[in-house]
Amino acid sequence: MWEPEIKVGTTSSTPSHRAPMAPAIPGGRASSSYGLSVTDDKDARIWERIKDHPCFSEQAHHYFARMHVAVAPACNIQCNYCNRKYDCTNESRPGVASVKLTPDQALRKVLAVASKVPELSVIGVAGPGDACYDWRKTVATFEGVAREIPDIKLCISTNGLALPDHVDELADMNIDHVTITINMVDPVVGAKIYPWILHGHRRYTGIEAARILHERQMLGLELLTKRGILTKINSVMIPGVNDTHLVEVNRWIRDRGAFMHNVVPLISKPSHGTYYGLTGQRCPEPFELKALQDCLDGNVKLMRHCQQCRADAIGLLGDDREREFALDQISTKVEFDTSKREAYRKLVQHERGDQLAAKLDANKAVKSLSSSGTLAVAVATKGGGRINEHFGQAREFQVYAVSRKGINLVGHRKVEQYCLGGLGEKATLDHTIVALDGIDILLSSKIGDCPKKRLAETGVRASDAFSYDYIETAIGALYAAEFGGKPAMPTALGPSN
């Protein structure tokens, strides 16, 4: 059985790589992830705009948190995959929110979170309805936040139907990031996704509704591009409905200046009460999603680290803290302290330089090997670009593909938490094994003998030998051991257990 080789005396603190001047400006057209190099001034300017936004930068999501405020419950379309009335505290899904907030309540909650979560860099309105349709509440919320925390980024997520009416106002409010959900560019396809829309005080259905929505979405995207606002397009992959059609969607948004395309899998269960859930519409398998993403790669920058967040999500992607900030537990008068945020920014600047240097070194080493081998590696991480989460505490694993082309994040696999005091652990592990189909190696900060053995029986080699190492450093060492004949040596000294 394969196991990383660990020799006494070889484990030390991760070396402090001294990156070149301005180490935290990775990016450029030479890298699809804005994570390796800068090729021109345009790339550097874009990096300055996205470097702290966890949804627009894969690297930023290791360090920075977002907060969605559920101030916009009204919506002007019906999607067959959406039911905004559904709520479960354990459910992570767009449109779901436990409590709808007024703008004043949202501001109070933002100040409370910003005081206790120094990683917070973005405030967004993502529902539970539509930010542009429920516009007055969105504006009132942003005006209050901008007044109290002027350096925080503001962003919205919208279906795009009402977007063209508000692009100038978005620009005037210095909103630099907008997400539009675009699932089709053919109204025939759209009629299978959207049963109706509300536009111009009228209700439209069928193909006519889809045609109007499509035209408004394209107009909104074009107007955002003209105003220099970075736009991310979310598309829900619905097998048998729009899965093959999303290639055409990708072409349309590329031609209209979209910055990023994020293809996410349909989430559909009968318990959600959606049309698709109740009619048995299946969700895509992980391999189907990856195949589509790979087909689209190279046209528009792809987002592969999306968590399909709730409308009230708080924290780092994959580590939601919304339940820590119940409105009835927040003081009516919140004192906002900026010192923690300022100290955290300084720490991150240094850490990002180290991580970038480690990432560059690992990719260089992998590319130097004359091997055609590939590995799929799942990683349990809490952020910071390190292997720093216990297998039993993980609710998702980041998935990396490694070959002589380099080490690349290609997606996430969501799982149920394994360690729950012995309750249902066998069934949970069975589900985790299914979720890890196709994975060669799993890395975590700690894993017990029982799950490790079960995973090995299914062909997944699990290890905690690289606890607290940088992810790319560990993966590069494992690839070299697998295909280059070099021993896999950890570099970080994790906390004692």
Give 123-136 pLDDT, tens digit per residue: 989 888 999 999 99
309 and 408 within one domain: no
Q: How high is the pLDDT of residue 37?
A: 37
Highest-confidence segment of 28-42, 159-173, 478-492: 159-173
For residues 272 and 360, membership in a common domain is answered with no
Nearest alpha-carbon partner for 179 in 96, 108, 264: 264
| CATH at 153 | 3.20.20.70
Which of 178-182, 323-327, 379-383, 487-491 shows the lowest mean pLDDT across its residues?
A: 487-491
The fraction of the chain above a pLDDT of 90, given in percent, is 50
Same domain flag for 228 and 84: yes
Same structural domain, 469 and 390: yes
Q: Establish if 206 belongs to a structural domain.
A: yes
Domain presence at residue 334: no
Indicate if 312 and 344 belong to the same structural domain. no
In a domain, 153, yes or no: yes
In sequence order, what are the beta bridge partners of 451?
none
Closest CA to 66 of 119, 20, 3: 119
Where b means 16+ CB within 10 Å and e means fewer, 124-144 reads: bbbbbbbbbbbbebbbbbbeb
Q: Are residues 81 and 216 in the same domain?
A: yes
**Total domains, the chain:** 2
Q: Mean pLDDT across the chain, nearest whole number?
A: 83
C-alpha dihedral (397, 403, 408, 414), degrees to nearest 10: -20
- The CA-based angle 442-295-159, given to 5 degrees, is 95
Q: Are residues 385 and 464 in the same domain?
A: yes
β-strand pairing of 375-379 with 396-403: antiparallel
CATH number, domain containing residue 442: 3.30.420.130
Same domain membership, residue 359 and residue 313: no
Q: pLDDT tens digit string along 380-412?
A: 998 788 999 999 989 889 999 999 899 998 888
Whether residue 132 is found in the same domain as residue 198? yes
| Residue-range definition of the domain harbouring residue 279 | 52-329
Q: Is residue 33 part of a domain?
A: no
Mark whether 324 and 343 lie in a shared domain: no
Q: What is the DSSP letter of 369?
A: S
pTM: 0.72
For residue range 311-335, list pLDDT tens digits in order: 677 867 766 677 777 777 887 777 7
**Domain check: are 116 and 230 in the same one?**
yes
Output DSSP code: residue 27. -
Is residue 94 domain-resident?
Answer: yes
362 and 420 in a single domain? The answer is yes
Please report whether residue 25 resides in a domain.
no
Cross-strand pairs, 202: 199
Q: What is the pLDDT of residues 289-312, one digit of tens each?
A: 888 988 887 767 887 766 666 667
